[in-house]
């Protein structure tokens, strides 16, 4: 783990990929201080899958161009044996997000949801409520960001900041 006091500053874009809703959170890290710059969602729209994927790609490219992150952190793909199609569809969203980051020459880091939960709460199987509480506590927020995808994206960026991945 890198001593956070050695890090001058960096901007981290955390992304919670989804085909219908992709959450994002942008954090500035200066020494050992973290600040939310921007957070929100990119919607896939009502189109069929190719249109949704195009909307996500264009939204991520526009976001990268506007916030100019130093690093991108994204949740790894998770596959539940009962719903294999969900992970296949989600792979499309992750693919265009990875492409957008790569085209902008931004380092991309992947984190399993259990790792993110463990880093933020100490429990790799933490509930949504526990994760939202951790985000509220870290950033002194009166209530969790809505929708949940935004809180998840902030958690991904925060996990990356805590782990101190160098750039």
* Residues labelled as active-site residues: 16, 75, 149
Contacts of 29 (CB under 8 A, 6+ apart): 4, 7, 9, 10, 11, 12, 161
- Residue 89, helix vs strand vs coil: helix
> Strand 71-75 to strand 9-16: parallel, antiparallel, or no bridges (unpaired)?
parallel
> Residue 69 — φ and ψ, nearest 5°?
-75, 155
CA distances 7 to 4, 32, 33, 138, Å, are: 5, 8, 10, 19
Question: CA quadruple 94, 56, 126, 110: dihedral positive or negative?
Answer: positive
């Amino acid at each position: 783990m890198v001593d956070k006091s050695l890090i001058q500053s960096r901007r981290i874009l955390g992304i919670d990929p989804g085909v219908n809703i992709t959450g994002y959170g942008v954090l500035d890290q200066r020494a050992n201080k973290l600040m939310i710059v921007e957070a929100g969602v990119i919607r896939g729209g009502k189109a069929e899958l190719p249109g949704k994927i195009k909307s996500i790609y264009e939204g991520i490219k526009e976001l990268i161009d506007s916030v100019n992150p130093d690093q991108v952190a994204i949740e790894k793909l998770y596959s539940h044996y009962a719903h294999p199609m969900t992970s296949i569809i989600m792979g499309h969203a992750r693919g265009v997000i990875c492409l957008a980051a790569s085209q902008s020459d931004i380092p991309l880091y992947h984190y399993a949801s259990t790792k993110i939960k463990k880093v933020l709460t100490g429990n790799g199987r933490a509930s949504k409520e526990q994760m939202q509480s951790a985000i509220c506590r870290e950033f002194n927020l009166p209530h969790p960001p809505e929708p949940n995808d935004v809180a998840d994206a902030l958690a991904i960026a925060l996990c990356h900041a805590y782990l101190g991945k160098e750039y």
